[in-house]
Amino acid sequence: MTGAPGVEGKVVAVTGASSGIGEAIALLLAERGAKVVLGARRADKLADLAGRIEQAGGEAVVAETDVTKREDLVGLVAAGRERWGRFDVLVSNAGAGSVGPITDLDVDGWELMVDVNVKGLLYGVAAALPVFQEQGSGHFVTVLSVAGLQISPGTAVYAATKNAGRTFSEALRQEVGDSIRVTAVSPGMVATDFTQGTKNDEARAQMEESKDEIAIDPSAIARAVAFAIEQPADVDVNEIVVRPTAED
């Protein structure tokens, strides 16, 4: 473990830390000296990750979290404060994605994306904002998507939920004043299991194919998150886009 200025000692909660991008963010931040609160539903995966972080000399606590439940986000923030007495960064990374034409009328999938990607983000902000205000410092980092920047058929609801997050984050930045930072990170195609959430067989096969061809490692997104966190307190990195060089 090598402590890094700006990251070392900060208490950082990561939602969706049980796999993919969230796991990579938690690992990298812990390696750089952050104390990490691991949030997701799969507690076994979180316990395994916490074990690996501690084995490497880092500090982690598990907080089983379903971001569609408001009280779980309150518990996530409380877990960091109870263990380390403060709470510095909320990384809202948990996400749901089901891609396919609107005519599929996958209303259950639409609801899930709204619940996880929009309401989950709002619940997290509602839980952390009073703490940040009381402390006089804090940082919201939200994982959005290139899908919201480059709209294409099949991604309507997923992109819409990610752009709800983008709009909200910009308003949040303007409203919270000069002691709280707000960062949105938009990844392109990343090598994770995220494609499994798509029910439409054709859309899923297409995504799997391009993932095999061009996807970048989740650690690329983790480095972008660390970059935003490690800046001096008066520097607010607001938007980062990280995608494969080979992506259209």
Ligand X SMILES: NC(=O)c1ccc[n+]([C@@H]2O[C@H](COP(=O)([O-])OP(=O)(O)OC[C@H]3O[C@@H](n4cnc5c(N)ncnc54)[C@H](OP(=O)(O)O)[C@@H]3O)[C@@H](O)[C@H]2O)c1
With the CA atoms of 32, 38, 43 and 46 taken in that order, what torsion angle do they form, in degrees rounded to the nearest 10?
Answer: -10
As measured in angstroms, the least distance from the Cβ of 172 to ligand X is 17
Q: Of 6 and 203, which has the nearer Cβ to ligand X?
A: 203
With the CA atoms of 116, 41, 79 and 95 taken in that order, what torsion angle do they form, in degrees rounded to the nearest 10?
Answer: -30
With the CA atoms of 189, 191, 194 and 199 taken in that order, what torsion angle do they form, in degrees rounded to the nearest 10?
Answer: 80
Q: Of 6 and 160, which has the nearer Cβ to ligand X?
A: 160
H/E run at residue 83: helix 70-84
As measured in angstroms, the least distance from the Cβ of 80 to ligand X is 16
Among candidate residues 87, 132, 158, 194, the one labeled active-site is 158
As measured in angstroms, the least distance from the Cβ of 61 to ligand X is 16
Active site residue 158: yes
Residue 73 amino acid letter: L
Q: Of 124 and 138, which has the nearer Cβ to ligand X?
A: 124
Residue 179 amino acid letter: S
Q: Of 6 and 164, which has the nearer Cβ to ligand X?
A: 164
Burial 181-215 (b: 16+ CB within 10 A, else e): bbbbbbbbbbbbebbebbebeebbeebeeebeebb
Binding residues for ligand X, rule: CB under 6 A, are 15-16, 18-22, 40-42, 45, 65-68, 93-97, 116, 143, 145, 187, 189-190, 192-194
As measured in angstroms, the least distance from the Cβ of 179 to ligand X is 26
Task: Name the residues annotated as catalytic.
Answer: 158
